[in-house]
Amino acid sequence: MSDSLANPAAALKAVPAFSALGEAEIAELCRQCVTRQYKAGQIILHSLQEADWFFVVLSGQVKVYKVSAKGDEQILHLYGPGQTFGEAAMWAGIRFPANAQAVRDSRLLVVPRPVLRRAIEKSPDVAMGMLAGLSAKLREFNQLIEDLSLKEVPARLARVLLEESERHGTATFRLRQTKRQLAAQIGTVAETLSRTLGKLKAAGLIDVAGSKITIRNAQGLRDLAEKG
């Protein structure tokens, strides 16, 4: 995402739910929202907290995660500039089902439920955009559940690497998370992740240099991700 999304108006315009709004409507929406700063490692929200708002990431990075009874962390998603989180729980009128924490110093725009309701009353296109965004997130979580329950670690890792390559628009990219965070994202531990990266490299599918990944055989990774 572009650095311009650090501007609240630009970030809101980039959110599908608000893309149909004009400049004056976006400006009015911004005036009714709150901007908050979070340091790296700072908790943004806890699970079971009342979901009275949702968040737009202006800068930085946020992880949404669950912690098991044994203390194991499962990262559900990583969000960067221009992305949103928390809207599903807010719309359902329930408590947040997971935790959120700033991975890096982050700046977030907080959109309260009443503000969103007023925006929808003025422009039904907002509701349609919000539904489209929620549908996309539902597909993401369905994929996560399928991967964790049915696929082995190499297949889960292959899918994430392909998604990162697509997000960057290039075969060579740097991981946006630490390897420990990546391990938690695919439901394993750092040691297993390192061994799996080594196996993918030995198979000629990728090259690894620290956090830098180069995909050498995209079709081979796709085959691995699909067959799992």
Domain range summary for the chain, segments of one domain joined by +: 3-149, 152-227
Task: Report residue 146's pLDDT band, with 50, 70 and 90 as the boundaries.
Answer: low
Q: Are 101 and 63 in contact (CB under 8 A)?
A: yes
Q: Among residues 215, 112, 111, which one has the least CA distance to residue 157? A: 215
88-109 per-position pLDDT tens digit: 888 888 899 899 999 999 999 9
- pLDDT at 173 exceeding the cut of 60: yes
Q: Are 131 and 125 in contact (CB under 8 A)?
A: no
Give the domain 152-227 fold: Arc Repressor Mutant, subunit A (1.10.10)
Q: What is the DSSP letter of 128?
A: H
Cα→Cα distances 7→50, 53, 81, Å: 27, 19, 10
Q: In Å, how far from its chain's centre is CA 8?
A: 18
Q: Are 220 and 205 in contact (CB under 8 A)?
A: yes
Strands 172-174 and 62-67 turn out to be unpaired
125-141 per-position pLDDT tens digit: 777 777 777 777 777 76
Model-level pTM?
Answer: 0.65
- pLDDT at 2 exceeding the cut of 50: no
**According to CATH, what is the number of the domain 3-149?**
2.60.120.10
- pLDDT at 161 exceeding the cut of 90: yes
197-210 per-position pLDDT tens digit: 999 999 999 999 99
Residues 6+ apart with CB under 8 A from 183: 189, 190, 192, 193
